[in-house]
Amino acid sequence: MNPLLQHSSLKNSAVPFHLIKPEHFPQALDHAIALGQKTLMAIRTQPASFDNTLRALEACSEELEYIFTLFNNLLAAHSNEELQKLSMELGPRVASFANDIWLDVEVFAKVATVHQQRASLKLNSEQLRLVEKVYRDFQRSGAALPPEKKTRLRAIDERLSQLNPKFRENVLKATNTFELWIDDEKDLAGLGPTQVTAAREAATERGQDKRWLFTLPQPSSLPFLKFADNRLLREKMFRAYHSRAFGGPYDNQPVIRETVDLLHEKSELLGANSYAEYALQLRMAESPKQVHEFLQRLLTAAKPAAVREVAEVQELAQSLGGPVPLQPWDFLYYSEKLKEKKYAFDEDSLRPYFKLENVLDGVFELAGRLYNLEFKASNEYPVYHPDVRVFEVYKSTPDKAFIGLFYTDFFPRASKSQGAWMTNFCEQGLFRSKLVRPHVSIVCNFTTPTTEQPSLLTFDEVSTLFHEFGHGLHSLLSQVEFRSLAGTNVYLDFVELPSQIFENWAEEIEALSLFAFHYQTGELIPLQLMERMKAAQKFQVGYTTMRQVNFALLDLAWFSAPASQEFSVPDFENRVTAECRLLPQVPGTNISASFAHIFGGGYASGYYSYKWAEALDADAFELFRERGIFNQEVAGKFEEFILSKGASDHPLQLYKKFRGRAPDPEALLRRDGLL
């Protein structure tokens, strides 16, 4: 029997990962599409009404979404050649069925009838929001296009459904290809014991127990670039990391050109001048012009500070006999030395206080204090890899209401994509005619434990855990009826607010006191070290802001114009990034070729949203600072109006209900000291 075609008999309807095999997905997808087609036929033949049309449309693709979501989660977190091959087959089939819905003239006519009558139908606010959203989605998907344009739109969407996973696959394979072997212990100078031990164990796993191995996943490559004294090896690591999928057998340049051209053609078919214009119609920012103005405001404020910061690092490097000018593989190395000089600590001095298990207990404790949640570890649930852990989540209120399942997957492996993300195996809302609670997962690539010590996180990794957990809270605390409006299904420049605001607690002394204990002695992180760490968070804020603005401008540029097959990816990137460049350009390196957020992760024309949401989070957290970071009234309002509402109202209205006013766009610059 195909486990994807059976209702789970496991506790809380958990996913039977132990039974699922790659070959189950094609059959299950065929079954789900057949069910969806029957529902579409019923919608066409029944009178238009909210239940016959809108509710039915919500249910139409629920089985397909469940199956394809599981497939994509495995493809990203625990891939193999069979799944990668299937992605080229399944993606177009899913895209084709989606177009069967969105390009159906009869179904659109039913939706239009309900939309026209919506004021007289006695709908609640969420139902009204659903009607307006679905009507708009049909319009934006080409339901009113003539047949020949619909045919072309189908072909575009099916091809894009192959290109996105191909881009990610190329990045993963290029990442796994590089290995930096070290034979001479002298070449380890500058590296801390955590990195050295991990490199030794990585080598031992490959049968080389007298050598050290460094690879491109960030727990290995980033500390190497920050601390290794050997400049030639730093350069080798830098060039390898920043040339992933740029040339060679896994070259993403053809994928980029085709993706950009197809998205531009699609947007023109749908009446927009560019894909950026098309995508931003459903954002708080609303238009490329508004995004550019926002980014230019940040650029104007940050660039003078960034130039000073780079000069300061250059000055220190010269005083230590370093190179002039600094190259990119020098910058992190000398920046760490400057940070240590200014704030009297280095990154490794913090690690002993950030044992992964303690940090995770800390975020659970914070969720309890703010939102009355309890997380209970359980071994009852199947997982897709031994690293994965599962927690049952309950309200700590007297009713002990079940909130959802929470999965964690923290360590790098060859089968896992780079980066960190939050995802759902099951969305909150109506599913199979019942209101269900979500099954949420956060996936990261943190420092791996060794035989000598547990996983000890850098502060950046701590912030990442807080960030993804914030996304998890957005999904766990969702309280809506319809899954398409639930949790993180909000505008892209609003979805980062819950994640980025939660990062603030990682820097607060009151919060750190709950979990930052030395993994050997149990000693609380010293107050002086906490204060120095907090002060250091402003270190090079101009430079880091410029870096994010650079990514956002590059993203927006790619999707503001078409690119012919003769188009040069590096030439285009170099032109766009020149304004933000603070260090020499390195020939043979490229950002775009591994920029999976925008070419394989759904953030096309949306990378600016990280800074946009930072502005929201800075403004929102000011209220917590004023009232207390554990203030129950403020946390209750944030849960009520932001975390629980999903997309059941416009994000600006939800924010105003929480804050009592519109967001202050200057809050981010105030927090960063860039005004």
pLDDT band at 563 (very low <50, low <70, confident <90, very high): low
Q: Average the pLDDT over 467-496 and give the result.
A: 97
pLDDT digits (tens, 9 = 90+) for 326-361: 999 999 999 999 999 998 877 788 999 999 999 999
CA distance 561 to 281: 17
pLDDT of residue 564: 64
Q: Which residue has the tokens 């930052």?
A: 516
**Could you tell me the pTM of the whole model?**
0.93
pLDDT digits (tens, 9 = 90+) for 602-619: 999 999 999 999 999 999
The rounded percent of the chain whose pLDDT value lies above 90 is 94
Q: Who wins on pLDDT, 563 or 295? A: 295
| CA nearest neighbour of 554 among 530, 531, 579 | 579
pLDDT digits (tens, 9 = 90+) for 237-290: 999 999 999 999 999 999 999 999 999 999 999 999 999 999 999 999 999 999
Q: Which of 468, 496, 508, 614 is catalytic?
A: 468
Is residue 137 predicted with pLDDT exceeding 70?
yes
Q: Which domains are assigned to the chain?
A: 3-144 (1.20.1050.40), 178-241 (no CATH), 352-377+389-432+443-539+622-656 (1.10.1370.40)
pLDDT band at 390 (very low <50, low <70, confident <90, very high): very high
pLDDT band at 398 (very low <50, low <70, confident <90, very high): very high
pLDDT digits (tens, 9 = 90+) for 404-419: 999 999 999 999 999 9
pLDDT of residue 348: 83
Q: Would you say 358 and 519 are in contact if contact means Cβ atoms under 8 Å apart?
A: yes
Q: Would you say 141 and 103 are in contact if contact means Cβ atoms under 8 Å apart?
A: yes
Q: How far is CA 504 from CA 279, 465, 476, 500, 625, in A?
A: 29, 12, 20, 7, 10
pLDDT of residue 565: 55
Residue 483: Cβ-neighbour burial (10 angstroms; 0-12, 13-18, 19+)? buried
Q: How far is CA 548 from CA 140, 298, 453, 475, 544, in A?
A: 30, 10, 34, 26, 6
Amino acid at 114: V
Calculate Rg over the CA atoms of the chain. 25
pLDDT band at 72 (very low <50, low <70, confident <90, very high): very high
Q: Which residue has the tokens 């103005």?
A: 293
Q: How far is CA 544 from CA 310, 346, 410, 431, 580, in A?
A: 11, 18, 25, 42, 11
Q: Average the pLDDT over 116-144 and give the result.
A: 96
pLDDT of residue 612: 96
User: SS3 of 541, please?
Assistant: helix
pLDDT digits (tens, 9 = 90+) for 618-636: 999 999 999 999 999 999 9
CA distance 156 to 654: 35
pLDDT of residue 346: 78
Q: Average the pLDDT over 154-163 and give the result.
A: 96
pLDDT band at 566 (very low <50, low <70, confident <90, very high): low
Which residues, at least 6 apart from 591, have a Cβ–Cβ distance to it below 8 Å? 242, 551, 554, 573, 577
Q: Average the pLDDT over 72-101 and give the result.
A: 96
Is 468 noted as a catalytic residue in this protein? yes
Which residues, at least 6 apart from 534, have a Cβ–Cβ distance to it below 8 Å? 507, 509
